[in-house]
Amino acid sequence: MIVTSFDDGIDLADRIPAGATVGLIGCAGCASACGTGDTKRLEAVAAALPPDRRILFSVSAEIPCDGRALRLFARSIDRFEEAEFLIVLACEAGARSAGDLAWRRPGGPATVVAPLRTTGFVWRRADGRDLPACLFCTECVVPDRATACPVAGCPVHRRDGPCQERADDRCIVDAASACAWLEHAPAAETAAPGPAGGEREPGFHPLRLPALVAPTPPDAAGCEALAAFLPALSGGTLFLEETGGLPILHIAHLFNGSRSRHGVALGIALHARDKNAVALSADLAAAAALGASAAFLVEFAEVRAGVAPALTTVELARLARRHLGPAAAIVVANRFDHPADRALLLAQRAAGATHAVATGPPPRAPLPAGMALLVRRDAACPADLTAGDLLHRLGPRRGA
C-alpha cells in the first residue's frame, strides 16, 4: 500500500475562499488504512472547514488513483459538477487522477487541494508492521512475485541472502522480528545460477593454513604486536581487514618483508561498509601487486546497527576473483542452516568463492562442487590485537 501522512501545514481555510463550494474525496483503500483518507478523517476535515465553505458531497472512493474508476464515481456523485474545490485525501496518484478529472470536467475545471503527503510504498503485515514493499531495484529476487520481497523486508536491504553472522533465525538488526530472507527467500534451486567455470576440485586454489583474520592495527604499537605474532602463523595466511585503523595497504607493505620471512601468505579481508566498487577495486589491485593470494569476505560490525553494505558478498567475490586472479582462494562465511544459506553459497560459488567457513554448526549436506570447507578454530592471538568475533583462526576441515 501507499503510505500517506496528513500535512498539517496546509491551511485549508486559507486555500479555499469563503463562500466556495467544496467536495471531499477520500480514498477507501491505502489512505483509509493509513487513517488519512477514511470516513473519520473526512468527517474531521469537514468539521474543520469554516462553515461558510459549503460542502456539497463527501465520499470515500475505492482506488481513486485509477482515473477510470474516479470518472465513474464522479458521474454518480450528486452535484460533482458544482464543486469549485475538491479536497482529495489520497496519495499522490489519487490526487493526480482527481486533478486530471477536475481539469477535464465538463462543468469547468475545479481546484484540487491535496493535503496528504505520500511517504512510502509498504506492505502492511498481519501484525500491523509496515515494511517496504519494493525498492524499485528492478532486479527481482522473487521472479514470480509470489512472496514478499526479502530485499525490501531486510532492514539493511541485503540483496544476496541472509546475514551469515546471525545466531538464529531472527534478524541481527531487529531481534524482535524474523529474518526476511529466511521467511521469504526463494528455494536454492530456483535462485542460484549454475556453477561458473566448470567443476573445480577442492584445493585447486590453495589456501595456506592456519589463517588469521586480523584488523589493521591502530598504531605503531599494534603493528609491533602483530609482527611479533607472525612466527606463530608460519606457513599460513594473514588476512588483513581494514577496521578504521591504519590503511590496509600501508600495513601490508610494512609487513611484506617479515611476512615473506616467516612464509605467511597475504590475504585481504573485504567488506563493503564504506567503499564502493571503484575503491574496492583499487584496494584489490594494490593487494594483488603486493602478492595477495586470498580474500575473505567478512561482515562488518555496523550492519547490526542498520548500516547497509554498498555491495553484496556475491559482488565482492566477483570483484576479488577479477583482481586476484584465477588461482586466488576466496573465502566466504556460511551458516549452513537454511535453504537461503545454501542459495547464497551457490551464488557466491558461481561468482568465484572457493572456500566456506561455517559460522554455526557444520553443514549436514555436502558443499557445492568446487568448494572446500573450513572450520573455525579457537582464536589464539595477541591480546592487544583482539577485535572480538572478527578475529578468526582457520584450519582445514577436521578429517579432511
Partner 1 sequence: MNPPLPPLSDDFFDPRPGVRLLLSGAAAAARGAWEAGVGFALTYPGSPVVETYEALAAPDGPAAARCRVAVNEHVAWHEAFGYALAGGRSLVVMKHVGFHVANDPAHYSAVLGVRGGMVAVVGDDPGATCSTGEFDVRFHALHAHLPVVEPSDVEEARALARAAFELSESEALPVLLVMPSGLCHGVGTAAAGPVDAPRAGLAFRASPDYTSVGGRAVRLRERLFRKIDLLARGERPLPFPVATFLPGDGPDLIVAPSVQLPTVAEWLVRRGLSGRVPVWSPKLTYPLPVAEFARVLAATGARRILCVEPLEGFLEHQIGVWLARRGGPAPELHGKDLVPAAGELSSVRVGAALARFLGLPEEPPSPESGAAPREGTFCPGCSHRAFFHMLRGALRPGDVIGGDIGCSSLPPHHSDWLTCMNSGASIAAGVARAVASATADAAQGSGRAQRVVSLIGDSTLLHGGLQTVLECAQTGSDQLLFVLDNGWTAMTGHQPTPATPDGRDGRTPGAPAVDLRGLLAALGVRDLHELDPFRLRGGRAMIRRLLERAPGFACVIVRRECRLQSTRRARSEPPPPWRERFMIVPERCRACGECYAVLTCPAIDADADGIARIDPLSCSGCGICRDACPNGAIVRLRERSRFAPADPAEPPPPSAAGQAAAGDGPPHPAMAAAPDPFSLILTGLGGQGVLTAGRLLRHALAARKLAGWDNRGGAQRFGHVAAIIRATAEPGAPLSLDIPPGAADALLALEASEALRFLDRAGPRTLVLLDRFVLVPTNVRRARGSHPSADEVAARFRARGAAVALDDFRARAAALSGDARDASLLMIGRLAALTGMPDEAGIERAATARERRVIAAGRAAAGGGWASPV
State the minimum distance, in angstroms, from the CB of residue 72 to partner 1. Answer: 5
Does residue 68 bind partner 1 (CB under 8 A)? yes
Does residue 138 bind partner 1 (CB under 8 A)? no
Nearer to partner 1 by C-beta: 55 or 209?
Answer: 55
**Segment interacting with partner 1, rule: CB under 8 A, options 60-68, 103-111, 286-294, 385-393:** 60-68
Does residue 48 bind partner 1 (CB under 8 A)? no
Does residue 69 bind partner 1 (CB under 8 A)? yes
State the minimum distance, in angstroms, from the CB of residue 114 to partner 1. Answer: 19
**Segment interacting with partner 1, rule: CB under 8 A, options 12-20, 73-81, 218-226, 338-346:** 73-81
Does residue 89 bind partner 1 (CB under 8 A)? no
Is the bond preceding 396 in cis, omega lying within 30 degrees of 0? Answer: no
State the minimum distance, in angstroms, from the CB of residue 22 to partner 1. Answer: 10
Q: Which of 35, 39, 137, 291 binds partner 1 (CB under 8 A)?
A: 39
Does residue 77 bind partner 1 (CB under 8 A)? yes
Q: Which of 4, 58, 97, 237 binds partner 1 (CB under 8 A)?
A: 58
Nearer to partner 1 by C-beta: 82 or 384?
Answer: 82
Does residue 59 bind partner 1 (CB under 8 A)? yes
Does residue 97 bind partner 1 (CB under 8 A)? no
State the minimum distance, in angstroms, from the CB of residue 151 to partner 1. Answer: 26
State the minimum distance, in angstroms, from the CB of residue 167 to partner 1. Answer: 36
- Report the interface residues with partner 1, using CB under 8 A: 24, 26, 28, 39, 42-43, 46, 55-63, 66, 68-69, 72-73, 76-79
